[in-house]
Amino acid sequence: MSQFLQPTILLLREGTDTSQGRAQIVSNINAVQAVADVVKSTLGPRGMDKMIQTGPKVTISNDGATILNLLEVVHPAARVLVDIAKSQDDEVGDGTTSTTLLAAELLKEAKPFIEEGIHPQIVIQGYRKALELALEKLEGFSINIAKDSAQDKRDTLLKCAQTALNSKLLANTKHFFSELVVSAVEKLDPNILDRDLIGIKNVTGGSVTDSFLVDGVAFKKTFSYAGFEQQPKRFENPKICLLNLELELKSEKENAEIRIEKPEEYQSIVDAEWALIYEKLEIIVKAGAQIVLSKLPIGDLATQYFADRNIFCAGRVAQEDLLRVQKATGGQVQTTVNGLNPETFGTCGLFEEVQVGAERYNLFKNCPQSRTATIVLRGGAEQFIQEAERSLNDAIMIVRRCFKANKIVAGGGAIELEISRFLRHYARSVTGKTQYIVNSYAKALEVIPRTIAENAGLNSIEIMNKLRQKHAQGDEEGRWYGVDINGASGVCDTHSSFVWEPTLVKRNALCSATEAACAILSIDETVKNPKSDQDTKMKPKGQPGRPPMGMRR
């Protein structure tokens, strides 16, 4: 009988946890749904905030990417939602919660198909076909603003910024901050629109409406030595010298090795060190610099030297601030003082050091090559200012994308309902399982307006019935109807109400959510291979998996 027994074949390490089949897909869908339920209540203008405590730090936010990142999700399938939220935030800056909810809803709609035995690849194929049709229709519904006048286009950008701020902490002051955001983006090079050239500086204290925009660069006063108080704090049309050079006496000692044979020679070494630092300082002064900024430290000797000659200096300037000063003033960062001349200097209309709250700030205003701007953000609590900064970042990203794309659609769930109506109509023209899957995709799109209505305290069933009726008319007027959180009826023409969003945000959200749903549906097995404690101890540093000498077999 032994010749008929099959030998045991062990492919995986003993203790390895494996899950596979239909139950694995359903388990992944349930995990994704649990994560989406956490951020669901944050969607829309009346969305709620989440307080997340990580050690001593407390974060209050309703930004989907921020919340998911702080949750530290460990489930491998649910981590996909975190990744798509981050990609949405990096790409367009807004719509992270919508993307997360849409992906979870697509999986929720696919769950009955999986449980009934339909192969996941058929669902994936149907979803991708629905996405292709949705993107095609989205482009057809988009409104091109490229041919609008400069003033009309600016008004559109203001409306898009206000729509982005509607669901944020700054919703009550959206008109004030939308003006700051659009003005800041307008300072950038229109061909590049580099986000890093818009600085946001947080200053605790005062009202949020005390925030202001600096047409140029502003940064907090850096660490300074004695003698700084004697330096002038205001210049008109100054010559600005930008350095990546340390102006400290100790640097000469640390960068050289000198051997002496007689004690008398030590004094000559000290004199040489002083001569070197004074030579550098003298070259800077003779070149005509009035403001000296350096990424590296400027010591007490140099600080007093510049103060005696009415020159302002600041050392340890942050890299991003120095880069923005370079862009705004037209200066060039030098790594040596040799060859220093006025052509390498930058300039600005006005430099001054002012008191902002409890901090001192250096302001460079009216720069000739102003391709940068700084928003000085005020507020009471630190958590409030941090959330306000995240809100402004979303609005800035939206305005940048609108600058480039020049296409907008109506928000408030209007475009999702219109695409949903189109997909339902298309589903009637096909047969088989594809009809049900495309219908499910159309139904999943309704999660956006439904959730907006629920979070605003409205009757979501009544609102959805009204919106379906409006969109079913199929005319130009009913196309843009979405959720109205302020009106008595609960629905309105969101295009006429100036609730606008860039088309790029919706396109990226649809693509990311569908790709995430298809990726999770295609996973039918999860293998968890625990690391052995013995193997972990045996691994020497720098050589993972290789036993140390003396322990090899």
The yes-or-no answer on residue 300 being catalytic is no
Residues 248 and 337 in one domain: yes
CATH number at residue 171: 3.30.260.10
Known active-site residue 329: no
503 burial class (0-12, 13-18, 19+ CB within 10 angstroms)? buried
Domain holding 137, by residue range, is 17-144+410-527
- Show the CA angle centred on residue 177, arms to residues 172 and 181, nearest 5°: 150
249 backbone dihedrals φ, ψ, rounded to 5°: -65, -35
Based on the fold, state whether residues 350 and 383 are members of the same structural domain: no
Regarding whether 191 and 111 lie in a shared domain, the answer is: no
Given the residues 66, 96, 99, 163, the one annotated as active site:
96
256 and 156 in a common domain: no
**Whole-number pLDDT of residue 489:** 86
**CATH code for position 78:** 1.10.560.10
536 within a domain of the structure (yes/no): no
59 carries an active-site annotation? no
pLDDT tens-place string over residues 211-255? 999 988 999 999 888 888 899 999 999 999 999 998 887 655 556
Helix axes 120-141, 96-115, angle to 10 degrees: 140
**Is residue 551 domain-resident?**
no
Considering the domain architecture, whether residues 61 and 131 belong to the same structural domain is answered as: yes
Give the single-character DSSP code of 341. -
pLDDT of 54 reads: 85
In a domain? residue 78 = yes
In a domain, 170, yes or no: yes
Indicate whether 130 and 192 sit together in one domain: no
Whether 9 is covered by a domain: the verdict is no
Q: What is the pTM of this model?
A: 0.80
- With pLDDT > 90 as the criterion, what percentage of the chain qualifies? 45
The alpha carbons of the chain give a radius of gyration, in whole angstroms, of 30
46: Cβ contacts below 8 Å, ≥ 6 apart: 167, 455, 456, 457, 485
Whether residue 543 is contained in a domain is answered as no
The closest alpha carbon to 351, from 291, 277, 423, 416, belongs to: 291
Q: Which of 59, 66, 97, 344 is catalytic?
A: 97
Q: Does residue 509 contact residue 99 with C-beta atoms inside 8 Å? A: yes
- Of 89, 321, 394, 484, which one is the catalytic site residue? 394
Residue ranges for the chain with pLDDT beneath 70: 1-19, 250-256, 529-553
Same domain? 423 vs 506: yes
Q: What is the DSSP letter of 4?
A: G
Residues 227 and 354 in one domain: yes
pLDDT of residue 440: 95
Tell me the three state secondary structure of residue 354: strand
Nearest to 512 by CA among 183, 101, 195, 222: 101
In a domain, 547, yes or no: no
Tell me if residue 63 is catalytic: yes
Residue 210's closest CA among 357, 110, 78, 390? 357
- Same structural domain for residues 50 and 84? yes
- End-to-end C-alpha distance for the chain, whole angstroms: 38
Number of domains in the chain: 3
Question: Is residue 477 located within the same domain as residue 510?
Answer: yes
Identify the CA nearest to 407 among candidates 124, 65, 146, 169.
146
In a domain, 545, yes or no: no
The dihedral built from the CA positions of residue 41, 43, 45 and 51, taken in this order, carries a sign that is: positive
Annotated catalytic residue, options 59, 63, 89, 493: 63
Given the structure tokens 């009913």, which residue do they identify? 478
Same domain, 86 and 76: yes
DSSP 342: G
Tens digits of per-residue pLDDT, 524-548? 887 776 664 444 444 444 444 444 4
Q: Which amino acid is at 259?
A: R
**Same domain as 439, residue 353:** no
The CATH number covering residue 221 comes to: 3.50.7.10
In single-letter form, the type of residue at position 355 comes to: Q
